[in-house]
Amino acid sequence: MEMDGIRSAERSAPAGRRGRSRLRLAVAAVLAGTLLLTTACSGSDEPSWQGGGNSTPEGTTAASQAPAAEPALSTVAVTSPAAEAKSVELWSEVKYNSEDPANTEVTVTNAKGAEIKGTVDKDENVWRPAEGLAWNTKYTVNVSTPTAEGKTNSVTSTFTTMKEPSNLVRVTSFLADGQKVGVGMPLIMKFGRSIPEKYRAEVERRMVVTATPAQEGTWRWISATEVHFRPKTYWKANSKVFYSVNLKGVKLGDGWYGRSNLTVDMSIGREMIMTVSNKTKKMTVKQDGKVIKTIPVSLGKASTPSSSGTMVVMEKAAHTIFDTTDEDPVNGYKTPIDWAQRITYSGQFIHAAPWSEGVQGRRNVSHGCVNVSEALGEWLFQRTMMGDVITVSGTEEKLKNGNGWTDWNMSWEEYKKGSYLN
């Protein structure tokens, strides 16, 4: 009946309309067959063209159809000194931010493009100069990190250091390049003005001592204007010692800065130790651990005793004059002396005393010095050097620390207390 109805309709319609009706029926039939086939193959009740399980064209995935995400760049930034900063101190650190600190590179260059030596702390994101920068100079900082595409993400910033101030502190070393000294010689640095305590730790950090072979040691402040360095035990014989003092531009007080840097390259000689006993009235001289001479001595009498303690030879004079008349116009004396070796600031020496040779080894008659004979005074003088050690024991007076280079007159634990880094 339905088919007859269709035919009747076709017969009653005009010829053109009848052709279009046949075409629509054929297309509908094809679509219906395709729909049934797709549903049967997919095992799904939902047609694929409505977003079903097989909605992705063959040979592709959903991820490949989505737009690729742009990789995130690792950002970097200089945080200090501020961009275009002026009057920056010479030892200022460069601080930066980075999302990839392990792969971040930092360079600092001067106006001529020369790279400045420094170290990068990638844990703290800080670049530190190896030495003070130049006064009134413009520097460029470049911080960079690689990207995933093999490119570089970088940032630059500039700053200018401070002008050279008028308030500069002179820093000097007692020792100089090429000197050879005894195993007890302290390294001595002096300052042109007092260094306040709050700046002393930074001063110590800038004074680096390197010994070959390596030896443990520390700085100790003797006063506000003087600091010494000694190893834990006497310097090893024949050591090489190098120290660099990088204080140019370092703040040494409120508004005061170090004037300059310096280095000293020196050496330690053979080991010579002199031991004086008041009990035996003898000096034992050891070189490299071996006794090479025993010398009769006369020490200070009861009214002017010699100091008991450990001292070092501070200076030597083959011939000099002891003059105490300025200190004591009544009882002072003025006497020519041979083979003098100073061991305290207060005026105690090892020296030849021909007038006391008859009692040397038996009785004390000096004004506090270690008297030896003319011949043995010369023998000893020809073999000692500045920094050689002398220890006196058994006298009525103890050596006061600070009365000479008394760095060895205290224990290592006591000595370390004079450092602001310990």
Find the catalytic residue in 41, 228, 351, 367.
Answer: 351
The SS3 assignment for 133 reads coil
CA proximity to 132, closest of 161, 173, 171:
161
State yes or no: is 369 an active-site residue. Answer: yes
Burial of 152 (0-12, 13-18, 19+ CB in 10 A): exposed
What is the C-alpha R_g of the chain?
A: 45
State yes or no: is 41 an active-site residue. Answer: no
CB 297 within 8 A of CB 371: yes
Phi, psi of 367 (to 5 degrees): -90, 15
Element (H, E) at 157: strand 152-161
Phi, psi of 7 (to 5 degrees): -60, -40
Find the catalytic residue in 41, 228, 367, 369.
Answer: 369
Residues 6+ apart with CB under 8 A from 401: 409, 410
Phi, psi of 107 (to 5 degrees): -130, 145
Amino acid identity, residue 256?
W
Q: How many CB atoms lie within 10 A of CB 89?
A: 15
CA proximity to 367, closest of 307, 304, 321:
304
From the DSSP assignment, how many helices (H) and strands (E) are in the chain? 6, 29
DSSP 6: H
Q: How many CB atoms lie within 10 A of CB 267?
A: 15
- Edge to edge, the sheet with strand 217-223 lists 171-173, 187-191, 226-231, 217-223
Residues that are catalytic: 351, 369
